[in-house]
Amino acid sequence: MYDKLDIFKATKAQMDWLAQRQEVLAENIANANTPRYLPKDLKPLSFKEVLSDSQTPTVTAVATNAAHIVPEMGIDPFKSVTQRKTYESTPDGNAVILEEQMAKVGEAGSSYNAAASLFQKYQKMILSALGQR
């Protein structure tokens, strides 16, 4: 029932994005001592894409010759991208700044809690409107 309502769809998409971002940030922190490691982050979530009801047709690549390599066409909506703006790095080339990563983890956690609270409040509102508790 909730997946058909735009507010729940948007809130769930944001919560999924934030959970995935927490994983990427945790990976950055875990690799804080790895030589030449560049921190990663997720591309920002576009709510325009989340709310659009238009379904784009799926296009797949086909090998027309036995010598061709079939490319993988899997599209990850939460694509992890390497951050290119690194202002600090250690002598071994590691560009992870732990304070920056911890601040991002805290921000993502707060945003997740806010989205979960919003989801619960809308759920209670709908149940109240239906006469249920």
- pLDDT per residue as tens digits for the range 6-45: 788 888 888 999 999 999 999 999 999 899 888 898 888 7
Q: Does any domain span residue 20?
A: yes
Q: How far is CA 63 from the centre of its chain?
A: 31
Domain that holds residue 113: 6-130
Q: Please check whether residue 1 lies inside any domain of the structure.
A: no
118 pLDDT higher than 80 = yes
Among candidate residues 26, 3, 23, the one with its CA nearest the CA of residue 78: 23
pLDDT for residue 130: 86
Assigned domain for 79 exists:
yes
This prediction has a pTM of 0.65
The reply to whether 96 falls in a domain is: yes
Task: Report yes or no on 71 lying in a domain.
Answer: yes
How many structural domains comprise the chain?
A: 1
Cα–Cα distances in angstroms (integers) from residue 116 to residues 63, 80, 81, 91, 123, in the given order: 44, 23, 26, 41, 11
Residue 111 domain-assigned (yes or no): yes
For residue 24, being part of any structural domain is answered with yes
Give the pLDDT confidence of 34-80 residue by residue, as tens digits: 998 888 988 887 767 666 644 444 556 666 777 766 655 554 555 55
Does some domain include residue 34?
A: yes
